[in-house]
Amino acid sequence: MKRVLITGGAGFIGSNYAHYVLGEHPHYEAVILDKLTYAGNMDNLKDLSDNPRYRFIKGDICDPEVVNEAMSGCNYVVNFAAETHVDRSIVDPGSFITTDVYGTHVLLEAARRFGVERFLQVSTDEVYGSVLEGFSNEQDSLHPSSPYSASKAGGELMARAYHTTYGLPVVITRGSNTYGPYQYPEKLIPLFVTNALDEVPLPVYGDGLNRRDWIYVLDHCAGIDFVLHNGEAGEIYNVGGGNEHTNMEITRLILELLEKSSDLITYVKDRPGHDRRYALDCGKLQALGWSPAHSFQNAMAETVKWYLDNRWWWEKIKSGEYARYYEQMYGGR
Ligand code: NAD
Ligand code: TYD
């Protein structure tokens, strides 16, 4: 048996990863540590509750006591726990610094004391900042634009420092924009799919021509798991989907898949500091033997269908505290 600590495992990618690990590795146990912020959701882990190889601990990665309890006996740590939404980071940067930088440090300290075999820090392509041309590779310098991406850059730099200074076997992944089931409906794709299903306007920022590289969540999980097992300690790996699209292309695809009117498209005031384009060079991970398996068209159709079939999951979220968030973000826009 190997035991993996999955922090932030009640969130979007972390919960998909917990399912992936338990399915893919029959001899692994998964311990999930999650604070259950607004983005953490036990519904995402519902079907694991009877699995004897799964354990859930509610707690904050900034709290050394609960981190020690969760990490005890673990071979691997995969740190997904973070504040993750750029727009929220513009309103409240402090909580991002606390969790994404300080929380990562608390985990690294514990990992050093326990002597874990691997610590994987889940980072993002946003640390490179906007790239108008070409593709970011792992040697490029970091130019984060938002409090979110600056905090993520801080977290991964701390992880690297623990490798360089203490020899902790750290690996870092920089993933691109991710989509799929169980994504909190504040991010572009689940927000627009669920708004379209409710016939509510789709708020496109600025001219809608900002570009992102999109990866399906199961590909992102598989890429992370591949790096956990095959990456070289101290190294960074870009994990991209190779699907670059403007926000307008994504918006039109969603409306097409749901057979909804383009009258729902509403241009709103742009996000401050909005990065124009992210694009990853994934040659390093390809050379190691991994590339994504899902086609963008099929995975988007699957994703849209999942939100169509699982109204129970997102209607619960949208009926609570969310209404206040939506008014704050979009009310005056
Ligand atoms: P998410 O917001 O859906 O989930 C984050 C989870 O972390 C939640 O369950 C939340 O409760 C938990 N959490 C937050 N603060 C915590 C704390 N202090 N202690 C313990 N748990 C805490 O995020 P996501 O989209 O699943 O992203 C997961 C990771 O992947 C993040 O590190 C993010 O930066 C990175 N990432 C995300 C994307 C993307 O497109 N979603 C792309 C690249 C990288
Ligand atoms: P988002 O899902 O927030 O991811 P990120 O900002 O981390 O890339 O946004 C993806 C793109 O969609 C980004 O260019 C901002 C844009 N966007 C909108 O146009 N309207 C919205 O309501 C949201 C949430 C995002």
The 10s digit of each residue's pLDDT in 61-70 is: 999 999 999 9
Q: For residue 275, which ligand has an atom nearest its CA? A: 2
Average of pLDDT values for 280-288?
A: 98
- φ and ψ at residue 48, rounded to 5 degrees: -100, -5
| 5, 6, 13, best to mutate for ligand 1 pocket (most atoms within 8 Å of CB) | 13
The 10s digit of each residue's pLDDT in 232-270 is: 999 999 999 999 999 999 999 999 999 999 999 999 999
- φ and ψ at residue 12, rounded to 5 degrees: -65, -65
Would you place residue 332 in the very low, low, confident or very high pLDDT band (cuts 50, 70, 90)?
Answer: confident
Q: For residue 42, which ligand has an atom nearest its CA? A: 1
Residue 205 to residue 275: CA distance in whole angstroms: 11
**Structural domains in the chain?**
2-178+215-239 (3.40.50.720)
Question: Hey, is 56 helix, strand or coil?
Answer: strand
CB of 175 within 6 A of ligand 1: the answer is yes
Residue 126 to residue 142: CA distance in whole angstroms: 9
Q: Is residue 35 within a helix (H) or strand (E), and if so which, with residue range?
A: none
Residue 106 to residue 63: CA distance in whole angstroms: 7
Would you place residue 320 in the very low, low, confident or very high pLDDT band (cuts 50, 70, 90)?
Answer: confident
Give the per-residue pLDDT at 124.
99
Residue among 85, 81, 86 at smallest CA distance from 58: 81
pTM to 2 decimal places: 0.99
Give the per-residue pLDDT at 116.
98
Spacing, Cα 46 to ligand 1 middle (Å)? 18
Residue among 208, 324, 306 at smallest CA distance from 265: 208
Question: Hey, is 237 helix, strand or coil?
Answer: strand
Give the per-residue pLDDT at 311.
98
Spacing, Cα 176 to ligand 2 middle (Å)? 13
Could you tell me what percent of the chain has a pLDDT over 70?
A: 100
CB of 31 within 6 A of ligand 2: the answer is no
Spacing, Cα 188 to ligand 2 middle (Å)? 5
Q: Within 10 A of 205 (CB to CB), how many other CB atoms are there?
A: 16
pLDDT at 110 over 90: yes
| 31, 37, 243, 278, best to mutate for ligand 1 pocket (most atoms within 8 Å of CB) | 37
CA-proximal residue: ligand 1, atom 27 (nearest): 13
CB of 317 within 6 A of ligand 1: the answer is no
Spacing, Cα 259 to ligand 1 middle (Å)? 31
Q: For residue 224, which ligand has an atom nearest its CA? A: 1
Q: Counting runs of H as helices and runs of E as strands, what totals does the chain give?
A: 13, 12
Catalytic residues: 125-126, 148
Task: Compute the chain's Rg from CA coordinates.
Answer: 19
